[in-house]
Amino acid sequence: MSSLDPPYKAIATRKKAKQNALIPPQWRITVPHPAPLSVISFPHRSYILTPLELEITSQHDATSLAAAIGSRTYTAHAVALAFCKRAAIAHQLTNCLTEIFFDDALARAKFLDEEYARTGKTLGPLHGVPVSLKDTFKVRGYDASIGIASLAENPAQENSLLVDVLLQQGAVLYCKTNVPQTLMALDSDNNVFGRVLNPHNRRVTAGGSTGGEGALVALRGSVLGVGTDVGGSIRIPAMCNGVYGVKPSRGRVPFARQETGSRPGGAGIALNASAGPIAASLRDCELFLATVAGARSWERDPEVVYGGWEEQGTAGQETKLLVGVLWSDGVIQPLPPVKKVLDETVQMLRSEGIEVVELHAPALKECPSLVDKFYRMGGANYMFDLLEKTGEPLTEWLGPRLKRGKIIKMGGLVAIHAQKEALEAEMLKIWTDAKGRQIDAFICPVAPHPVPPIDRWNSVGYTSSFVLLDYPAGTLPVREFKEEDLHDEWTDDSEPLGSWDEYNRTLWDKNSIDRRVYLNTPLSIQVVAPRLQERRLLQAMSIIDDVVKRRVDIPHARL
C-alpha cells in the first residue's frame, strides 16, 4: 500500500485484519476452488461443528432454543459456542459479518448459566438465545461503522436502546452484520468489509441493506437477527435469502442511538426506518416483537409507541380470515415467476377455505415517486461529508446513482408531507372490500422480479410504499425457483408502464439475461397489515405460512 493512497484504504486493511484475527484457527475452513454456487449445505460438511452443535444450529429456531435452555436440555454456553462457530463458517463463505465479539458472548452465556443455576430463574424470554445485529446498532466497545471508513476505529460509548432491551431480556449478542455503503443500496457492498454473497447462489444478490443478516440467517449462523428497514431493507434480504423478515410500523421497536450516517435530528422530517426481525421461523419474529413489547420501551424512549403485544391487533378472530391480493403497484408489472408464485399462494389459500379478494389501489402508484422525494430531501450531503473525510469513493453501483444535492427548504418539505397525508387518507380505502368487510391483511410481491444477479436490483417500490404508509409488512418464503419456471412467458403484449417497468422486463428477456441464474433461488410473497397492527400481521402471516408449508415441498429447513 502506497503512502499516497487515501486514508480509507489503510483503515479498511486494519479492520479486515482485526476481523480475521477474531476467527480462531480451528474454526477456519477451506472453500473449494472454484467455489460452488450454493454453499447452503457447507456447514454440515465442514467437520468443524460437532454433532451436538449441528443439532443445536440446524434443528432449532430461537423459540425452541429458549425452551431447551429453560428445560436444561442445553446450556446457554453450549448454544452460544455452536452459533459462534457457525457464524464464523457463514462469514468465511459469504462475508456476512462486521464486528465479532465471540469471547464476550461466551462469557455472557457462562454468566447466564451460573445465574440460572443459582436462582432457578431465567433472565427473560430470550434467556441464552443468540441474537445477531445489523451493523447500525451500537454495542459498547465496538464500532458501528456501517461500512464507512471515517466511522471505523471509533468504538461506541453506549448501547443502542434496543441492545439494552435485548440484554435485559436474556439475549446473547455475538456479532454484527454487513451492509451496503451509505445504507442506500440493495446489494450489500462497501469499501471497508467488501460484498456479502448469497449462500443459495453466489451469482445473485444477498440484498440490502440488511444483507449480512439475511445471509447469516440463511446459513443458520443465526436464527434470530435484527435489521432495519426504510425502503425494504429487512424484507428484501429476507426474500433474497429465503428467510422471514418483518418491518413493523414506526415506533414499535426502539430505534434510538443507532448509527445511520444521517444528520442528527433529521428523523422527524424524513421517512423513518423501523427495526425488526429477520429469522429462521415466523414464530421467532413473534417472539422478538412480543418480547420487545413486553419490555415497555416507551417508558425510556418517547419515540416508541405504547402498546403491549395483545393490543397490536387480531386477524380472523370473529370470522374467517379475509385476505386481499394486490397483483401490481401500477408502476412495475411483476415478471411471470413472481406473478405465478403469488397466484399459487392465492390458490392454496382458497383451497383451504380462506377467502381471497382482489384489491385495486390506484393511489399506490403515486407512492414510489413521493418516497424518492423523501430520500432526496437532505441531498445526501452529510453522507458525502463522511466519505470525503478519508478520501473514500462511492462503490461502483452507487457511483453513477448518488450525487450531492440541494437540501429542500421548508416550503418544499411542507408540500411533500401534504402529499403524504393525502396518500395515507386515500389508501385507507384498501382495507375495506366491495362488500364493506374489513380486510385482515393483503398479499403482494416483495419485488417485481425474482432474486436478481448482483447489482441488478430494479426498484424498491413494492416495499418502500409501505414505509411511506407506515404499514407493518413481512416477507414469507413460499418455494424455490424451479426448472419449469424458466419457461413462463408474458401472457399479454402490453407496452411497458414506464422506464422502471421497461428495465424490469430485461430481467426476464432471454436476450438480456440467462434465466438459469434464478434456479434454486427463493421465491417469496409479502404480507401487509394496517398501521400499528403487528400482531394482526403475524397472525395473518402464520395462517398463510401454515397453508404454504402443508402444500409446498420445501427442500431447506422450515421450522
* Extents of the domains making up the chain: 7-551
Tell me if 188 is assigned to a ligand binding site. Answer: no
Q: Is 134 a catalytic residue?
A: yes
Query: Cα-flanking dihedrals φ and ψ of residue 73, to 5°?
Result: -65, -40
- Long-range (24+ apart) CB contacts under 8 A made by 364-367 are 364/326, 364/329, 364/330, 364/427, 364/430, 364/465, 365/329, 365/330, 365/331, 366/419, 366/423, 367/329, 367/423, 367/461, 367/464, 367/465, 367/468, 367/469
Please pick, among 15, 134, 176, 420, the residue that the annotation labels catalytic: 134
pLDDT in tens, 416-444: 999 999 999 999 999 999 999 999 999 99
pLDDT in tens, 383-404: 999 999 999 999 999 999 999 9
pLDDT of res. 216: 98
Q: How far is residue 451's CA from residue 469's CA, in Å, rounded to a whole number?
A: 25
Q: Strand runs (DSSP E) across 205-362, as ranges?
A: 224-229, 244-247, 274-279, 322-325, 355-358
Tell me if 369 is assigned to a ligand binding site. Answer: no
Residue 470, pLDDT above cutoff 80: yes
pLDDT in tens, 215-251: 999 999 999 999 999 999 999 999 999 999 999 999 9
Please pick, among 160, 188, 222, 233, the residue that the annotation labels catalytic: 233
Q: Enumerate residues 6+ apart whose C-beta is below 8 A from 323.
A: 349, 354, 355, 356, 357, 439, 440, 441, 442, 443, 540, 544
CATH superfamily of 7-551: Amidase signature (AS) domain (3.90.1300.10)
H or E element at residue 441: strand 441-444
pLDDT of res. 557: 37
Tell me if 233 is assigned to a ligand binding site. Answer: yes
Sheet arrangement for strand 473-480: 97-100, 172-177, 130-134, 224-229, 274-279, 244-247, 473-480, 522-528, 441-444, 322-325, 355-358
- Which grid cell is 276? 425488526
pLDDT in tens, 508-547: 999 999 999 999 999 999 999 999 999 999 999 999 999 9
pLDDT in tens, 133-160: 999 999 999 999 999 999 999 999 999 9
Query: What is the distance between the terminal CA atoms of the chain, rounded to a whole angstrom?
Result: 48
Residues in the chain: 559
Q: Enumerate residues 6+ apart whose C-beta is below 8 A from 237.
A: 188, 206, 207, 208, 209, 210, 211, 213, 214, 215, 227, 245, 278
Q: Is 281 a catalytic residue?
A: no
Please pick, among 209, 249, 281, 464, the residue that the annotation labels catalytic: 209
Q: What percent of the chain has pLDDT over 70?
A: 97
Angle between helices 211-218 and 76-94 (to 10 degrees): 120
pLDDT of res. 265: 72
Q: Is 209 a catalytic residue?
A: yes
* Residue listed under C-alpha cell 427463493: 522
pLDDT of res. 317: 59
**Confidence (pTM):** 0.97
Tell me if 160 is assigned to a ligand binding site. Answer: no
